[in-house]
Chains A and B, each alone.
Chain A
Amino acid sequence: MPSEDAAPQLDVDQILADPGVRIVVCCGAGGVGKTTTAAALALRAAERHGRRTVVLTIDPARRLAQSLGLSELDNTPRQVKGIDVEGSGGELHAMMLDMKRTFDDVVLQHTDPAKAAEIFANPFYQAMSSTFAGTQEYMAMEKLGQLHARGEWDLIVVDTPPSRSALDFLDAPARLSRFLDGRMLRLLLAPARSGGRSMFSFVTASFGMFSKVVQKVIGAQLLTDLSGFVAALDSMFGGFRQRAEQTYRILQARETAFLLVAAPEPDAVREAAYFAGRLRSERMPLAGLVLNRVHQPAAPALGADDSLAAAERLERAGGHAGTAEVLRAHAALAQQAEREQRVAARFSAEFPGVPTVSVPAQPADVHDVDGLRTIGAAISDR
């Protein structure tokens, strides 16, 4: 297929072995095997390339987490035992992101204990730290920044949150910054800064209507809580933004490699193409596309139509029922493979320069180290 030839082959081993690459970010739509891919790459980096690797997972399936020795969400990298690193000297550590704890740590780092206690007790903080749209994305980036700053690892592999759209992941830091810089926030802060009792005591008549509405809709109690929250956070704004910007710059650096993960389905490929466009416009280093769960017939010489026609002939003639069934299944598989190629070709037509690797669909789901090793080998297959 000419379109397939157009996409250069992605050499994952080259990325994993490159000492200049310190961060691999796996991103893509939900349900495409992102977490499994991240874990498989990290395992391979440790076992094959001898790198001291840490994999940051966001919300791994229970059995996959168990296979990595992650029995609880404790926000600390733990070494994965029982892997084959004797020859390579690598190490694999794994952790699950605890969003709230990461947020708490950020607060503690940027303010004194008394203020931190005040912030933790505020109902707005409680809501925001566990449910703020984008908190998970932001905290994943924050954690990445922390791991990177510690300098303990040769390679950090990051799984990204199952965002409603790939955008959230890149936008979270910017959104948080915008939010913290927002006009509204400044307005809310003004009285707190000037020591005013009422939030809107300072406002002009034209703003009066607005404050009345806000009071009416969200209630005075809420407004008080909000005011307290905003005032308490004020001291941390600079730090917040600075960190978000720092992480953003790390993501743009040469030491980072973004891998798009997709399955050969229209939605997932569309999302991947969208993300590829975003990465390009943000000048972030896109290393390639990992196309998971690709179906490939083991008897490629036999076409779908011939196979179906033959199955029908056999069924009409009687006998050879087993073969007819196998031929029908083969035809379905061959058709599926063709469809998947067409879907994948849409991506390579739009982004012809992006190296791609296809990972064959596994007959059963992966949830142990052996399975991850198999996937890792498949991703690296040339």
Chain B
Amino acid sequence: MKRVYHVVAIPIRIVLNTFGDHDPNGMMYVLKENEEKVKKLVKKNPFTPVDLVQPLFIRANEGDTVEIIFENKLPFHTGIHFQEAEYDVFQYDGANVGYNEDSTVAPNNKILYRLHVLKEGNYFFSDLGNVSSGEEGSNSNGLVGGLCVQSRFSWWTNPETGKVINSGQYADIHHPILPSFREYVWMFNDEMEVDDLTGNRPINHFSNQEEESFHGANYRYEPENRRQQLISEGVVCPNCEGEEVHHDSWVFGDPSTPILRGYVGDPAKIRLFHGGVKETHVFHYHVHQWFSDPSDLSSEIFDSQAISPQSHYTIQPLYGLGSLQGSFGDAVIHCHLYPHFVAGMWGMNRIFDTLQDGSQCYPNGVPIKALKPLPDRNPPPKPTKLKPGFPNFIPGKVGLKAPRPPLGIVGGRGLTELERHAAIENPRPGAVFTDPSPANAPIKEFNISLIEIPLIYNREGWHDPTGRMYVLDENIEDVCSGKKAPEPLVIHASANTCYKINFTNRLPHILDGDAFQLVTRTYEVGMHIHFVKFDVLVNDGANVGWNYDSSVLPGETIQYSYYSDVELKAWFFHDHLFPGTHQQHGVFGSGVVHPRFSNYLDSATGEEVDYGSQITVSNPLIPDYRDFALFVQDFTHLFDKNGKPLAPPPFPGSPDDPGLFGVNYKNEPLQFRLDKECDPAYSFSSFVKGDPVTPIFKAYEGDSIRIRLLQGAQEESHSFNVHGLKWLKERGDLNSKLDNQQHIGISESFTMEMHVPRSGDYLWTFETEEDLWNGLWGLIRAYDEKVPELIKLPDRADPLKQSKPLPECKGTKPPPAEDPTVIEVKGPHRCYDVVAFQTSIVYNSFGDHDPHAVIFALREDMQAIKDGRKKPEPLILRANVGDTVDVTLTSFLKQELFPFQDGIYPYPIVKEQAFYPPSLRISLHPQLIDYDVKTSAGETVGFNGDQTVGPGESRTYRWFVDSQVGACGLWDMADIRNHKSQGAFGAFIAEARGTEYLDPYTLKPVITGANVILRNPLLPDIREFVLIMHDGVRLLDKNNQVIFDPVDGILLAPPEVDEDLLDTYDQGSRGFNYRSERLINRYEEHPVLHDLFSSKAFGDPSTPLFESYVGDPVTIRLVTPAERRRSHTFHLHGHRWKFDTKDIFSRTESFVGFNVAGAASNLQLLGGAGAYSGFAGDFMYRSGNIRWDIEQGMWGIMRVFDELKKHLPKLDN
């Protein structure tokens, strides 16, 4: 079926909330039929949000052809680029790329885009006519939208009126044979320009400084600052502080942000889009869980999901609204990054239990809009006087804080009459209106308190004087007296447990002020939980909407009740009343729901325990395992031993990236790990400075282990890597791919299940440069012989008796690792001779270059590279499954060629820079393939021997390709400050057995290269394109001046760029494969924004140009070995692939999110080059981050020909 939409891009004032905060230079896509109406309404309401001012959300059905008549009424060229869709790239790309036709539109002109939507799901669209990341850019000002593609034969109606609709963020979707569902579109927006009522930048009334940047959804935000102002001015809620009532509708009424309305049990889909330009957000939705991949019932279950710019998911809450337990009330939806939450990035899902026909009112007198019941479901009961339904039975007072729940607080109140009529038959503390637990579920009781205690993070005395942590009541004394080391609380129970929690607030009323924060009254706290089933009204541990405030005052105890219906991951818990103020002090913990019938043992003594971050689990039916919980933290407020604040913000209370990092309240900064000779190569060695204070997870060789990965605080992305081990990406799915890296944002939870094949010390890291530098690493130590401090797993054989003393720290260099090549090789054997040396790399034709690069290359290519006969490229090695690979590495590093002899780079910087002189030793560490960490991990870790090489020295690593994992990162681990972002990385590709690698132009066999043909007797010829996405590069321009990217690369930059705009981890230049096509260079030559990707105007970009013919099988290997914490989205125009190449059930996507250090993925283009429809032309590959990647050069072209070219032999398929 053909569907036609007439879309207009217009300038519009976007009012973001009822306080009159607005974007005066807003831009939006709107249906032609609404254009005049919306303009009129905005004119009439200059300071009030107008419903029609929302990102454009349109719909179609799978299989439709969608025609967009696009009209541009903005004063510059714009277009619409659609992700996920198939279209003729030459005409309909919505951009001006390569040698395609320009499919952007001049002001006051029109164009037609024709799209084929082949698959149900989310189709993000945005402008590519003006990719400036600044205030003049189109995307941050709102020129984004979503096309929601439904199952075939669907139609959609307005949830309020039941009438058919053409666009809008809320729709009820109907189908002849599938359930009707509520469709809610939630689009994150960030970094929009905001003025207040007076036309000035909003000021934070507390700090008197400019407010944090805009973070919202669907062009709305509801900042804490604004609501707090009403308190401080005495309008509402006397004696309240602010954060604890930020989401309280009793005090403020409902927010301007989206409220997704439905009835208990309604099926629903949230179409989640990231329409922002910069930040990776974490979407969290209280009460509900969903499959990470809705098309795959064996995929992971999430209740928090990170999302990076221009990516998208469908969130399909399991069991419909209110989840399995049928909870009703307000379930807050928010970005879990607290500074964003506080800035206003939240809304809620309002679940009614009674029919809303438009005749009812909220407690504050605001009418409740009608809501049509879904036609295939029984309507809920009508409200009556005795049973008025949510929220009208709750005994709150408008203008005051929400009431406390009945029954929950020890010594508190019972139920009012109205509450009794609304309650379940036998209400109990924590389960009053919904009972999450079956009657006979075993009950497990925990007594938990929140306390304040100084936390010491490392041996240098870095500490948080106002640490705050959850602790079991029976351990308070031992923790406070120092008998027990403080660690985040992890409690253990099995599936089918009814949890009874007695939670006591033992915090002081006041969180003291210091260089990081102003004095704040954090007088009430709670324990909000993820994943488990509960009654949201009384047990959320939060204060949301018209619900109760389920927190307690100092000295009080509240009883909570939850139920674990199935084996879950580690569920996260934290305070929801003042998390923005104190969660970064340590207010987080976890419960792990294990398989039923498990027993939990202290790993040292074998005694039964029910808490601890490192335990041993025994089960009668499944293999026993070690269970390790790891919490990463940022915004950690630390002082050194002399009381000097470390990395303090510009002023107390600033959300501008304050503080440092931790893991389980510890860190082990590399600056303190230097040996006497100050060689960074031994920073991870325990021979030199002993074991790190960060967690060392202990196991015996052959044990199975589960790592529970969580992030406790506060705003940033982290990249967890385990060196030398791997796990299934989807734990419940044997068809899933292997991984050894995981991106994480706050509140996400991942379980990695694996076994430890050999003894040795395995390094775990949060791999990005600044994290690792500041101490986010530790070890998994696998013993080959019995040690007294570790029991064996009960179902495994006794370990060997101890025959030799354990290695000790002697303060000296580690001994060299054994030579792995003395063992005879069976089967195919492949050898690579690799060298590391310094050279200059030219990044583009404009002369941007890195004169001090450190690279790996094949020895046979070294001279040609040095002479300039061969351009440096990242080293790419390949081998086939079954191969044994010996890689001999030789160092040719020279002291004098390092630009900063103290290792302190003036730009780009990391926090807490310190003396760390460049190492002349180097190593080569691979991901995912198999090797003995004691000889071939390409790093010197723990009590393993030295595996780095000094100048003139060589060492051979032996790797086994045991699985066809495809792309693996490859990088140096000898000096993460002076080598890696300087170019010491590459990729290793594990190919199918029997594969040959051919040059695509000569068809001759090749040993390395980013562009090859894979030839295999059983498979079609495949073009393989390797893209290495990297950042943190220090580039000089043609005049040898340092390029201060990203700022130097901003198009249409304001005269003065606010320095605070930039976090440390945004610093540096970026690109693909040692190349960067920075748009600013092009703009200076030809200042026409929409032409910047055009090869007609500039010739082809310097980034890799990958050529193919229509229909050629193409696999893109995408790796991100380096370097910074900002995660990048990857997007290839006009193509899609399976999210997991190993799993045919997995979702199809046109993007890869979370490209941070250690990320690796394999993209098999569906339909081959040109996609199923076989379109020829120039397809842009690029970052999805408008701020600050595309401008700064992270883009290139995949060229697809439809006729034979002399220079490119066709594939023999």
A, B: real partners: no
> Which A residues are closer than 8 A to B by beta carbons?
none
